[in-house]
Chain A
Amino acid sequence: MHKHSSRPIYAIAAGAIAALTALSFSANADDDDIWPSLQKEVYGTRSIIENDGAVLIDAPERAEDPAVVPITIRVPPSVKGPLKSMALIIDKNPAPVAANITFGPAAGNGGGERRMTTRVRIDTYSYVRAVIETEDGALHMVKTFVKASGGCSAPAPKDADGETADLGRMQVRSFDPALASTPLREALIMIKHPNTNGMQMDPISRGYIPARFIKSIEVKRGDDLVFRAKTGISIAANPHFRFTYANDGDSALSVTAIDTEPTTFTGGNGAGRQAAAVSQ
């Protein structure tokens, strides 16, 4: 879908990082608004409706920890019908598209506020955008400005030796809604994974720690897709997604996440699915 990209939008090739960082730094200084070119790269010539209330975004004005910035994208009940897709974009990050999500039949058709929460890294003061595609094929966008710096190159692990323990461990929780008849319910997926982005320095070699991050996540209820996300290096360590989905039938979810190795991690909250499994 982004075959003509000149700028990597999910991840950057190892080795090109130092050069790229230097380039984007000088480019940003001269050309503050990089959205027009980014929009062209991601959406081509399609028009985007901004601030029409079809999508809302919650982010802290100032991120206390730039390596763990919570972002919530909300689609109000006034928007009817299934959503086709949702993207989270951080303009000034080295790889701006944090996640691009497509929805399936188990995502629900509305009837309440639809939400998607995740945590991202933010490398410098930047606009953070949410773009959704509604059933009619129209694109809607909202943006907010976040003051944060150093999220991507931040030497994140507080306990450097504890970070890689339990790789791939997964927690999946579904929350019972207050009213059983409500059309949407909420679930949480957490995956233990350092999500190294290729921008953190190995203190001994002074080389960059190779990027190893979750690149896709698929969530299903039975055979029905809830969503499939293509994710990039802007997602914080221990990827975290909290989202609404259709509240009909079984609440049990199964999750398949694949990283760049590629290693596949699976988990779920249904009977017999409590323990996460890892397979190469």
Chain B
Amino acid sequence: MCTPAQLQTIARPGEEETKAIARALKRSISRRSVLAGALAFSVAPIVSRVSALAATAMDFTEVAPGVFVHQGRYELQSPQNRGDMANASFIVGDDAIAVIDTLGSAKAGADLLAGIRAISDKPIRYVINSHMHPDHVLGNGAFKADGTVFVGHHKLARGLAARADTYLASSKAMLGDDAFAGSEIVLPTQAVEKRTTLDLGGRELVLEAQSVAHTDNDLIVTDAKTGTVFLGDLLFSGHVPTLDGSLRGWLSLIDQLERHAPARVVPGHGPHAMQLPAALGDEKRYWSTVAGDVRKLIAEGQTLSEATKTAGQSERGKWAMFDQYHVRNVTAAFAELEWE
């Protein structure tokens, strides 16, 4: 519903590539753990098992019948939040559950799983990752079980594999050894090429792969039964948006999304549920301001360093996490727009 109507293409084309990446990643991880032996990486699995037993259930809000959303904090990863800084959701069908995003550590993932189990004991058939960022995928390990399929954009496996070392190292540094323990990269086992439908029993989820916007592997999930659309990090509210894809791509996707009126949308960072098109207003204003300011500076012959000091500063005070992400956003926007 968010991309131009297409005939359904079931996502098998990416499967071979996904498997190749998974094999290669295994090789690399064993190589890395040999190198890192002195850093006592080897104790991690034991710690993780202990903590899984001690999981404390995350809280969920039921935003529509059978649709539950956990709201993450507006923070950077820390030992205290254990990577619980993004929204995570699950949908319950007659037969099975699908989870969308798993938070930023194995421990947060285990707490999420405990929260789901407090509500439903149906099997978790699908774990869907909305995109590659660590705060949405590093809890995947807590959901590894027989029969659970990990689903993502067809470019997710490549994006994650390329960044696996960086993500694990930086998350470990930010979370600390204890909160990070047991976290791993779990790649998708089913790839969404364009559009895929998943059946939970009397309930269908439609998954649509997007062009480059927030990242190059953004996926939009729609629960057809309630008209709930999970936008992942294509929608930020309250928390400043972050750019790791294409500013022009994102703005054009926002224009497309504004033409739809689903019952509700769920942001990747923000409240449990919001309404279109109002939900997109702040984000659209932020990116339009950044793009406008940066384009003007480029036309005037100003430099990237100057842009980082002035562009988009009218947005300061309107967002949480502005100081943490805004300069990086301007840098990425400048490097993209100077080639227009």
* A residues whose Cβ falls under 8 Å from a Cβ of B: 22, 58, 60, 64-65, 68, 70, 72, 117, 119, 150, 153-155, 158-162, 166, 169, 171, 173, 175, 186, 188, 190, 192, 200-206, 238, 242
Of the residues A160, A171, A188, A206, contact of B159 by C-beta under 8 Å: A160
- Kindly state the separation between the CA atoms of A60 and B212 in the bound complex, as whole angstroms: 29
Q: A153-B166, A190-B338 given as contacts; is B158 within 8 A of A160 (CB)? A: yes
CB distance B246 to A70 under 8 Å?
A: no
CB distance B162 to A201 under 8 Å?
A: yes
CB distance B305 to A60 under 8 Å?
A: yes
CB distance B17 to A242 under 8 Å?
A: no
CB distance A238 to B305 under 8 Å?
A: no
* Chain B positions within 8 Å of A203 at CB level: 21, 24-25, 157-162
* Chain A positions within 8 Å of B159 at CB level: 160, 203
Of the residues B166, B332, B339, contact of A158 by C-beta under 8 Å: B332
CB distance A173 to B301 under 8 Å?
A: yes
Q: Which positions 118-163 of chain B face chain A at CB distance < 8 Å?
A: 155, 157-163
CB distance B304 to A70 under 8 Å?
A: yes
* Chain B positions within 8 Å of A202 at CB level: 162
* Chain B positions within 8 Å of A154 at CB level: 166
CB distance A58 to B305 under 8 Å?
A: yes
Q: What is the predominant secondary structure among interface residues of chain A facing chain B?
A: loop
16 contacts between A and B (CB under 8 A): A22-B35, A70-B303, A72-B305, A155-B162, A158-B246, A158-B336, A159-B212, A160-B162, A175-B301, A201-B161, A201-B165, A202-B162, A203-B159, A204-B24, A205-B24, A242-B303
Q: A58-B305, A70-B304, A192-B339 given as contacts; is B166 within 8 A of A150 (CB)? A: yes
Closest A-B pairs by Cβ, 7 of them: A203-B161, A155-B162, A206-B24, A64-B328, A203-B162, A159-B212, A64-B327
CB distance A161 to B216 under 8 Å?
A: yes
- Kindly state the separation between the CA atoms of A99 and B215 in the bound complex, as whole angstroms: 32
* Chain A positions within 8 Å of B249 at CB level: 159
* B residues whose Cβ falls under 8 Å from a Cβ of A: 17, 20-21, 24-25, 27-28, 35, 155, 157-163, 165-166, 170, 212, 215-216, 243-246, 249, 301, 303-305, 308, 327-328, 331-332, 335-336, 338-339
Closest Cβ of chain A to B66, distance in Å, is 36
* Chain A positions within 8 Å of B163 at CB level: 155
Chain B, residue nearest A200 (CB): B162
- Kindly state the separation between the CA atoms of A82 and B54 in the bound complex, as whole angstroms: 70
CB distance B24 to A158 under 8 Å?
A: no
Chain A, residue nearest B29 (CB): A206
* Chain B positions within 8 Å of A58 at CB level: 305
* Chain B positions within 8 Å of A70 at CB level: 303-305
* Chain B positions within 8 Å of A206 at CB level: 24-25, 27-28, 161
CB distance B331 to A65 under 8 Å?
A: yes
Chain B, residue nearest A154 (CB): B166
Closest Cβ of chain A to B238, distance in Å, is 21
* Chain A positions within 8 Å of B157 at CB level: 203
The CB with the most chain B CB atoms within 10 A, among A64, A169, A190, is that of A64
* Chain A positions within 8 Å of B165 at CB level: 153, 201
- Kindly state the separation between the CA atoms of A245 and B244 in the bound complex, as whole angstroms: 35
CB distance B308 to A64 under 8 Å?
A: yes
Q: A154-B166, A160-B158 given as contacts; is B212 within 8 A of A204 (CB)? A: no
* Chain B positions within 8 Å of A162 at CB level: 212, 246
Closest Cβ of chain B to A171, distance in Å, is 8
* Chain B positions within 8 Å of A192 at CB level: 339
* Chain B positions within 8 Å of A169 at CB level: 339
* Chain A positions within 8 Å of B331 at CB level: 64-65, 68
Q: A150-B166, A154-B166, A160-B216 given as contacts; is B17 within 8 A of A204 (CB)? A: yes
Q: A70-B303, A206-B28 given as contacts; is B308 within 8 A of A158 (CB)? A: no
* Chain A positions within 8 Å of B17 at CB level: 204
- Kindly state the separation between the CA atoms of A242 and B17 in the bound complex, as whole angstroms: 41
Closest Cβ of chain B to A229, distance in Å, is 18
Chain B, residue nearest A205 (CB): B24
- Kindly state the separation between the CA atoms of A237 and B137 in the bound complex, as whole angstroms: 28
